[in-house]
Amino acid sequence: MFRDVVILLVEDDLGDQKLIEKSLNNERILNELITVNDAENALQYLQRCQDGEKESPRPDLILLDLNMPGMGGKEFLSRIKNNPELNDIPVVVLTTSDSEQDVLESYKLQASGYIKKPVTLQGFQEVMKDLEEYWFVVCKNFPQRQLS
């Protein structure tokens, strides 16, 4: 059985949530976008996935903002990558920061990409298209599924 690609978006800004939702519409890929407002909610969501809850499908990819209220994005990234049940899920940082320090720390924590948020809808669309093409056309994911 083929299923849609599941993307978990961890983002507190409502405007950016909308822009990303609008931009994830590559017609080659069916995706289900699950949005949570902070890292704590993302961890709870992932716990429900691990518990096998049907309405909480395991994400194939996590899109992560760095600056969030409460637990920061880097702390969340570190927890995911140190959890043997979750560390195979690619986490792509999507943030307004382009400080070299943030880029370096994110890669050291095993982010699978670091994308600076574009400022226009068109910019978001281009970025999301490249991201989908790389992760869901070029790359094979686990568990494997075929995309037509």
Partner 1 sequence: MQNSKNIVVLIVEDDPIDQKSIERAFSNQEMIDRVSVVSSAEEALGYLNRSKEQDGDSPRPNLILLDLALPGMQGKEFLKCIKEDEQLCSIPVVVLTASDNDADIEQSYKLYAAGYAQKPLNAAELDNIVKKLVKYWFTTSSLL
- Do the bridges between strand 91-95 and strand 114-116 make them parallel or antiparallel, or are there none, so unpaired? parallel
Site string for partner 1, 11-30 (x = CB under 8 A): --------------------
Question: 21 and 53 in contact (C-beta within 8 Å)?
Answer: no
Q: Contact, 56 vs 36, CB < 8 A?
A: no
Could you say whether residue 6 binds partner 1 (CB under 8 A)? Answer: no
- Looking only at residues 105 through 134 of this chain, which bind partner 1 when binding is defined by CB under 8 A? 107-108, 110, 112-116, 126-127, 130-131, 133-134
Closer residue to partner 1 in complex, CB, 45/114: 114
- Interface pattern 81-100 for partner 1 (x via CB under 8 A): x--x--xxxx-x-----x-x
- What type of residue sits at position 126? E
Tokens found for residue 41 = 């909610």
